[in-house]
Copies of this chain bind each other. A is one copy, B any other.
Amino acid sequence: MKINITLKDVAKRAGVSVATASRALGNYGYVDRDTKKKVLKAAQDLSYHFNSIAKGLRTRRTYTIGFLLPDITNPFYTRIAKGIQDVANEKGYNVVIAYDDSMSNKTKRFFDMFFQDRMEGLVYSTPYNEVLEEMCKITLKKSIPIVSCYGTKKVHYSDLVQSDSIGGCYKATKYLVESGHPNFFILKVKESSISQRRFEGIMKYYEEIGRGIDPKYVLENQDYSDRCGYESARKIFKIWEKPTAIFCFGEQLAIGVMRAAKDHNISIPDDLSLISVDDVIASQLTPSLTSVSLPVYHAGEVAAGLIIERIEEKKRIKTREIYLEEKFIIRESTLNV
């Protein structure tokens, strides 16, 4: 078997010129219906796969978009990836996924590949870092469009897809208060702008009912880890004998709280209601977590739509910021009192 079948082989077998074969296979230009059939048959017979490298060289198009995420192992990000792939594929684009574990210089490597392979658009979900910013500048100079999807907002002139953190936490707060938890503990994260916005969602509801938040209910955490959640919960349990509810600004924080509750023989939801934000594995836990669910898959779909629109549109589109609605899902970890 000949390993590399080329258009020339197909053309010869079909008894036409390469140009005609190209037109028949590429579905463009004028081709007689019978000729086309012959060519298609010849291609089939030889199990011809056209060489998109050669095509790309000639047409200067690759129909490929790159997606950069911080952790390929985290379903939060891979759900975005899936959303991107699904719409990209449907529109005839491929997507190359790469991750950047902040320590190594993978970002640089990714962009080398990104440029060398002449990808036509970039979507990223990574937090801010200097290399990223610098590379994005070069990308934009080359007129390659960029969309941030749950990534840093700092890079200018690129579109943005995220979700409405204020609205999501607003709903959760309303539910908590209305179901008999006028006061609950809040596990925030220091120096996180998204954590701040979630907090604003809570405040917004409190303002509407003419109240404020007593600072004694707010605990700042170093990061979003379960360890921090565990420590904060222990603090709460030590000082307050009977907290009725805790609202965590991240799923791992909530997982830490669950562990602490178990250690202190506090039952969720009977003794304590628990709410989290993120909804990655919330439904698989026991009890399953009531949570603010981020529409990550859909965000990926939207991001892919935006980037492809920019790739295909010649005229300048002004930058867009899209905030999708967050859902609030009631599961087993909360109780009406």
Known: A115-B49, A118-B51. Contact between A73 and B75, CB under 8 A? yes
A112's partner among B49, B72, B78 (CB-CB below 8 A) is B49
Q: Does A89 contact B (CB under 8 A)?
A: yes
| Copies of the polypeptide in the assembly | 2
> Which range contains the number of A residues in contact with the other chain?
35 or more
Check A73 against B78 for contact (C-beta < 8 Å).
yes
Q: Rank and list the top 3 A-B pairs by shortest CB-CB distance, nearest first.
A: A49-B115, A52-B116, A258-B286
Give 17 A-B pairs besides A1-B141, A73-B75, A78-B78 with Cβ atoms closer than 8 angstroms: A3-B142, A4-B60, A49-B112, A51-B57, A53-B57, A53-B117, A72-B78, A72-B85, A73-B79, A75-B75, A89-B106, A94-B96, A255-B286, A258-B286, A259-B286, A281-B284, A285-B286
Write 27 A-B pairs (CB below 8 A) sorted by A numbering: A3-B143, A49-B116, A51-B57, A51-B118, A52-B118, A53-B53, A53-B117, A53-B118, A73-B82, A75-B75, A78-B78, A82-B99, A85-B98, A85-B99, A94-B117, A96-B96, A226-B284, A252-B284, A255-B286, A259-B286, A262-B286, A262-B287, A281-B281, A281-B284, A284-B285, A285-B285, A286-B286
A interface residues, Cβ below 8 angstroms from B: 1, 3-4, 47, 49-54, 56-57, 60, 62, 72-75, 78-79, 81-82, 85, 89, 94, 96-99, 106, 109, 112-113, 115-118, 138, 141-143, 226, 252, 255, 258-259, 262, 281, 284-287
